[in-house]
Each structure stands twice: as C-alpha cells, then as structure tokens.
Amino acid sequence: MEGHAISEELSKDELNLLAEAGYSRKAIELYEDKINVGVMENPDVALAYTGSCGDTIKLYLKISNNDVIEDAKFQYVGCPASAICGSTLTLIIKGKTLQEAKKITADDMLRELGGLPDEECHCAKLNVTTLHKTISRYEENMKRTK
C-alpha cells in the first residue's frame, strides 16, 4: 500500500484489507480522504523526521502571532498508519496554541482514532515526536530572530 500516489483512489479490496487488519472506520476514512496530506506553501516551520520503523513524516505548520497553529499539513513515506496518524494529528492541533500542542500524546491520538492495530501504534508516537521537534525548531528560529 505504501506505493500509492496521492492522487490514486483506493479500491474496495484495499479498504476491506485495512478493516480486516483492525483499522477503525474513522481511521480508514482519514486514509481514504487524505486529510491534510500535502505540501504547504510558505509554512512558518517545516520539519521531516524518520522514526526507528523507517517511516518519515514531514510536518508543515502555519502559526499566528499569538502562537496558535492556524494550519497544518504533512507528507509521509510509510505505512497507512503513519498517514492516518498524520491526518489525526493535523486535525487535533489546528486552533491550539503551541503550548497546548506540546501536551498532545500518542494516547490522545489513539483515543481520537478509536485505536489502531497493536503493531501500528508506534506511528502515533512517530507523529507526536515529529510535532514536538517541529515546535522546538520553530521556537529556536523565533529566538534567533529576536
């Protein structure tokens, strides 16, 4: 499944396979709809991080002057769970302050999704780690420009 181009439609067989693997309906819909997947033009910060599983997430954030995350997008190379968790993360963080976003955990994401197959739960942690590293990069950049 990781070879899918972003523009491809998923077949019924592929969707059924995700369900058989233990993905929730919500998770499958996020994967099918590719929520917030893509490149953001002129982000305030962007960072790519590769987890120990080999999957890579690149997170793009647009942040207001009040440190509120106005927009978030991501790209990924990896399994469906990485994409599902990326979509979930971007939905959760939009409208939150950086301080609120720093408190988001992998468990928060898994609760939002209704869980993932056990062997894929590390993807939530990969996305949260990417978020924390992206926020740290933004804060470091802001210190340098002051």
pLDDT above 50 for 120? yes
pLDDT at 8: 54
Question: Over the Cα atoms of the chain, what is R_g?
Answer: 15
Q: Say what the pTM is.
A: 0.90
Crossing angle of the two packed helices 106-113 and 80-93, in degrees rounded to 10: 100
pLDDT in tens, 9-51: 678 898 899 999 999 999 999 999 999 999 999 999 999 999 9
pLDDT at 5: 43
pLDDT at 11: 85
Q: Which residues contact 125 (CB under 8 A, 6 or more apart)?
A: 51, 106
Residues 83 and 28: beta-carbon distance below 8 Å: no
Topology classification of domain 12-145: Sufe protein. Chain: A (3.90.1010)
Please state, in angstroms and rounded to a whole number, the distance separating the CA atoms of residues 112 and 41. 28
Q: What angle do CA 78, 50, 68 make, to 5 degrees?
A: 100
pLDDT in tens, 50-100: 999 999 999 999 999 999 999 999 999 999 999 999 999 999 999 999 999
